[in-house]
Amino acid sequence: INTNSDTVSPSSSPTLTQEKRTSPLVSSPEEDTVIPIRGYNRLMVKSMTSSLQIPHMVYADEINVNALTEVRDTLRPLAQEMGVPKLTYMPFFIKAASLALVKYPVLNSTIDVEEMTLTYHKGHDVGVAVDTERGLAVPVVKGCEDMSVLEIAMELGRLYSLAAEGNLSEADISSPTFTLSNIGAIGGTYMSPVVLPPQVAIGAMGKIQRLPRFVDDHSDKVEAARIMPISWGGDHRAVDGAQMARFSNLWKSYCENPASMMFAMR
């Protein structure tokens, strides 16, 4: 699952509403059928073609979301009162990523191979892959570095609604600097996420499972844990394995100890 950038955004209209969905056939056709590639799927074709130029590297880990689940469940009633009908994990994952990007800004950069430059972006504009009836859409939550978890959740709700209706504007999908995809909402654990140039990094969360885990390295005690796989993809021209691992470790620490995010927020 990937995202869109300003290099592949539609040029004919500020929204994607006039492009009808290009859907896979739900049953076997009686004869060969040609379906035009339009809308979100056309953007995906262009972006995936561009991504073939990237020497990819993948780093994977797993995180224990027991503490995060408790925090999310505790905050859900308050979030509902403040206009967020269903508080999910994604706003926390996005904020944790933004905080980790502060320390490892290379993952929030874009590469220009022609000029041999990296642009480190001040703003954390996080693209979020969304599965819709019209195909894959990747709206962008802009300015995450200055937003609270609640504000990110509210913006996600707005973007999800527009994506479902096919009413995302060009501004809503343009110029992400970093991308997250929650493939686990559909199924699966690990994957090899594909980076879209000029971005240099993408993360994909797998499904959360209740699994047995040792409490620590010095005991045989086992407890139930809610475990989520995370897969990171990076452009190896800009990001090396050590940088990706350190970024992932910091992101993981924020997700496993969500209270620690308060100390890092400005």
Could you give the CA distance from residue 93 to residue 20 in angstroms, rounded to a whole number? 32
Could you give the CA distance from residue 100 to residue 180 in angstroms, rounded to a whole number? 14
Q: Which of 6, 73, 112, 240 is catalytic?
A: 240
Q: Which of 56, 121, 131, 236 is catalytic?
A: 236
C-alpha angle 213-231-58 in degrees, rounded to nearest 5: 125
The reply to whether 236 belongs to the active site is yes
Sign of the alpha-carbon dihedral angle for 177, 178, 181, 182? negative
The reply to whether 121 belongs to the active site is no
Could you give the CA distance from residue 249 to residue 127 in angstroms, rounded to a whole number? 21
Phi, psi of 10 (to 5 degrees): -65, 145
137 within 8 A of 163, measured Cβ to Cβ: yes
Judging by DSSP bridges, how do beta strands 222-235 and 135-137 pair with one another? unpaired
Q: Is the link from the previous residue into 36 a cis peptide, with omega within 30 of 0?
A: no
- Beta-carbon contacts of residue 32 (< 8 Å; ≥ 6 apart): none
Report residue 128 CA to chain centroid gap: 4
CB-based burial label for 86 (10 Å; 0-12, 13-18, 19+): exposed
Tokens (6 digits) for 12:
């004919």
Q: Annotated active-site positions, please?
A: 236, 240
